[in-house]
Amino acid sequence: MNDIAARWITCPGISGKEYGVYFFRKTFDVIDDSKTYPIQVSADNRYELFINGSMVSFGPSRGEIPAWNYESVDLGPFLRKGTNVIAAKVWNYGEHMPLAQQSVQTAFFLSGIAETNNRIDTNCSWRVLRSQAYEPITDASEQLGGHYIVVPPGDRIAGCNYPWGYDQVGFNDQDWFNAVELPSHLVGWNLVPREIPFMESGMIRFSGIKHSEPEPIVPDFLNGTGALTVEAHSRITLLLDLGCLTNAYPTLALSGGAGGHVQLTYNESMYIEKKVKPHRDQTEGMQLFGIRDQFFLDGGRNRVYRPLWYRTFRYIRMDIETGEEPLTVHDFFGEFTAYPFEMKASLDCGDTRVAQIWVTAWRTARLCAHETYMDCPYYEQAQYIGDTRIQGLISLFISGDDWLIRQALLQFKQSIHTEGLTMSHYPSTEKGILPIIPPFSLLWILMIHDYWMLREDDELIKSMLPDIQRVLEWFEERVDDSKWMLGELEHWNFVDWAWPYDWQKGYGGVPVGADKGEQYSAIVTLQFVYALQAAAELYGAYDSLERSVHYQSLAQKLSEGTRKLCKNTQSGLLADSPEQQEYSQHAQIMGVLTGCLENSVMKRVMIESSLRQASLYFKFYLHRALKLAGFGDSYRQSMQSWVSMLELGFTTFPECGDLETRSDCHAWSASPLYDLLNIVAGIGSGAPGFKKVLIEPTFNGFPFIRARMPHPQGELSLHLENEGERVQGWIELPLGLTGEFRWQGNFIKLSGGRQNVDVHVIVNNL
């Protein structure tokens, strides 16, 4: 975009680093009806773009300064012959920047692509207003009892200062200023075209009012069939329960009420007191704290208020206080927002609980995917590698959409620090020690391997090989070759919340041997081995045989060293460190996944209560080890953790599986979507690029399995029934795809089209 006439513009009299909301507008004439009118648009931090009052774009898609997204939009359908107005609302969170938002400074950019469209290019002819209507509400952490929360702040909007109608042709902007063009040396964004689609949007409504004070309220305004009138000098409180968690822009349509205000408070659950939560359906006698928006009313007619950013909620408390004038509430609804994943997979095994888990896990995955993947929508909205590996597999198996996982792989590549490790989450503004989690850098390599097995994208994979080497070199430099284990490691070596948060240290999740000043963690050493094995396959596939052999050799030495020092000769279990004082499921899981331990140890992992138990996050790796070891029929036992969460009223799956969990919606807990297809239905890739399919079901006591999922070549589906040692049914592969069906030592070659399966294993009891 070097040959364009448009300029980045900003508001005069600002530093560009502070919090602020700005309105830009420009009128222009269209001589004839324009069928197409393509433009490119971006801003820092974000923008909403309008033509003649209609929103036509929202962005830019979240990214990073070296690859700052712009949107391509056709204005043609929104233009009319004669005078038109193009307007934008642009905001910068400034000192209240969310964790995942990067920024250079407040600015706006728009370029007409065709020569005839350049009259709307951003330059100093645009008019701009710095809004006095917006203030941030930044007390969410305090409201939530000190919980870590790093999403956009709440909005306090003063209606009397809002430029109502600024996006309409007849608006008078004579008190506005001409925009300032940024000099080229201040233009720090490297613009790239947005690759992911626009977010899905749709209206959601509350079915009714859960509680109201001081008296019952007729809920017609919630479905748009009536209005709520609040008399002057009144206070009312309404508690609304959507029935399930969602991400949406709350939208409130009002008239009158000058001098009054409305406050909306949002949360995933009710509270007994701060940090103490009840069953998620319980509301009687409970309280609601959290992120909130406040709208101070100017008395105008048909005012529409909504926050700058979406909110995550199941419950909303609406507090209305009127002054001298009554208020009419015409409508209240939410505008749902999420990445537009489409469910193209299904699994049915005749169990209603499995069906509930499927629906709940899908809702969890959807709410944790927006312009990037994210760990949780309410508290952080940060794209962590640990969550994203699981999310990527879910996306590919359930929807077939690979845009978001491809973007994530590239963003993590871009995040690599000079010392050779990725950031733990990215995009990010965070600085210091916590953004780096060395084991997550290893998981990024596993993500690349996952993608390699499921998609044919040689160019992308090859581009990442040098960065894989950089990550592995960081760990290799920290190998103690006198013991062949990893020595002392810097940074936050998070493995799982099975090791609780330590309030004195300010972090948690770190096993013995991986904490500051410690050495020789069996778990992290084997995570390194796991990544080395994946990297060896990748380098071997792309003609880097010498490096592949080196990684195989190093993995073997580390595996043998860990087994020698950490395996208890009496119990046969792998300790978390050479001192052999602590034992966890995690060490056994990594031992099996890397071949350091024999597969039979997984039997004990499922019954030994003395082992430190994997949390919801690490159960993903527990399930991979069960499948690898041939114990996939134990998955149903492990799935009880998700059944228990349903019984606690969760409508999405949380960060941790109890009532006191911080986040009620956490991406890593959506893993059953992948597990049910990969373990129960037994579907997996048998060759890079998913060019072959392996199907090895584990019925887990279910009488039948009916499943389908997207494949790059079409749809893959099956219907299998199990009775005793017999499996029969059919499998249908896309034309041109081959594979293999496996069942208790039997192997059947598969080809494109539908084929019947009938395997009867004769058991010799002699």
| pLDDT tens, residue by residue, 662-714 | 999 999 999 999 999 999 999 999 999 999 999 999 999 999 999 999 999 99
> 554 or 429, which is more confident?
554
Confidence (pLDDT) at 764: 55
Confidence (pLDDT) at 118: 72
DSSP 564: H
Checking if the pLDDT of 329 tops 60, the result is yes
**pLDDT-derived band of residue 761, with 50, 70 and 90 as boundaries?**
confident
> Contact, 9 vs 123, CB < 8 A?
yes
Helix, strand, coil percentages (3-state) for the chain, rounded to 5, are 25, 30, 45
Please state, in angstroms and rounded to a whole number, the distance separating the CA atoms of residues 454 and 443: 16
Please state, in angstroms and rounded to a whole number, the distance separating the CA atoms of residues 20 and 334: 25
The neighbour count for residue 342, using CB atoms within 10 Å, is 11
| pLDDT tens, residue by residue, 95-137 | 999 999 999 999 999 999 876 677 899 999 999 999 999 999 9
Of 263, 494, 466, nearest to 385 (Cα)? 494
Confidence (pLDDT) at 31: 86
DSSP 441-468: HHHHHHHHHHHHHH---HHHHHHHHHHH
What are the two backbone dihedrals, phi and then psi, of residue 756, each rounded to the nearest 5 degrees? Answer: -80, 150
| pLDDT tens, residue by residue, 411-461 | 999 999 999 999 999 999 975 556 899 999 999 999 999 999 999 999 999
Confidence (pLDDT) at 431: 57
DSSP 337-388: EE-------EEE-S-HHHHHHHHHHHHHHHHTBSSSB-S-TTTT---BHHHH
Confidence (pLDDT) at 185: 86
What are the two backbone dihedrals, phi and then psi, of residue 359, each rounded to the nearest 5 degrees? Answer: -65, -45
| pLDDT tens, residue by residue, 38-47 | 999 999 999 9
Confidence (pLDDT) at 153: 98
| pLDDT tens, residue by residue, 156-212 | 999 999 999 999 999 999 999 999 999 988 899 999 999 999 999 999 999 889 999
Please state, in angstroms and rounded to a whole number, the distance separating the CA atoms of residues 416 and 58: 29
**pLDDT-derived band of residue 762, with 50, 70 and 90 as boundaries?**
low
Confidence (pLDDT) at 131: 98
> Contact, 364 vs 673, CB < 8 A?
no
Checking if the pLDDT of 586 tops 90, the result is yes
Mean pLDDT of the chain: 96
Checking if the pLDDT of 150 tops 60, the result is yes
Q: What is the 3-state secondary structure (H, E, C) of 269-333?
A: CCECECCECCCCCCCCCCECCCEEEEEECCCCCCEEECCCCCEEEEEEEEEEECCCCCEEEEEEE
Q: Is the pTM of this model over 0.75?
A: yes
Indicate the pairing of strand 209-213 with strand 235-256: antiparallel
Confidence (pLDDT) at 766: 44
Please state, in angstroms and rounded to a whole number, the distance separating the CA atoms of residues 411 and 427: 7
Residue range 387-397: mean pLDDT, rounded = 99
The helix (run of H) or strand (run of E) holding residue 390 is: helix 385-394
Percent of the chain with pLDDT over 70: 98
Of 253, 275, 274, 270, nearest to 262 (Cα)? 253
- Beta-strand ranges (E) seen in 150-199 are 154-158, 177-178, 180-181, 191-193
Checking if the pLDDT of 476 tops 80, the result is yes
> Contact, 337 vs 198, CB < 8 A?
no
Percent of the chain with pLDDT over 90: 94
